[in-house]
Amino acid sequence: MNSDFSFLFCFSGGDHVEEYQSLCVRCEAVSAEMDDIGEHLRAIDQNVQDEEQQVENISAAQEKIQTEIRNLQARICDALA
């Protein structure tokens, strides 16, 4: 038995020590899982930010192309007049 938990014997016996140790192990597992989930969420957030930036870039490029088309149409109309 782990000596770190021996102080619990004086309160209520060995059954609670095992339960306490089990809870500690489960707590560590949950903590590790929370860290993994946090990392996964950060990666998802970064992907969303990257995609939002791509949408902004595409919108800006689309607007630039539409402006160029309008300018060319105006030049063609002026040249034909």
- Structure tokens that stand for 13 in this block: 């016996």
21 occurs within a structural domain? yes
Quick check: pTM over 0.85? no
Q: What is the pLDDT of residue 11?
A: 53
**Cα dihedral 41→44→45→49 (10° resolution):** 170
1 occurs within a structural domain? no
41 occurs within a structural domain? yes
Degrees to nearest 5, angle at CA 14 with 9 and 15: 135
18 occurs within a structural domain? yes
**Tens digit of each residue's pLDDT (9 = 90 or more) over 4-46:** 555 555 555 667 888 899 999 999 999 999 999 999 999 999 9
Contacts of 13 (CB under 8 A, 6+ apart): none
- Total domain count for the chain? 1
26 occurs within a structural domain? yes
Residue 74, domain extent: 12-80
61 occurs within a structural domain? yes
Q: Is there a contact between 12 and 4 (Cβ–Cβ < 8 Å)?
A: no
CA atoms of 27 and 37, how far apart (whole Å): 15
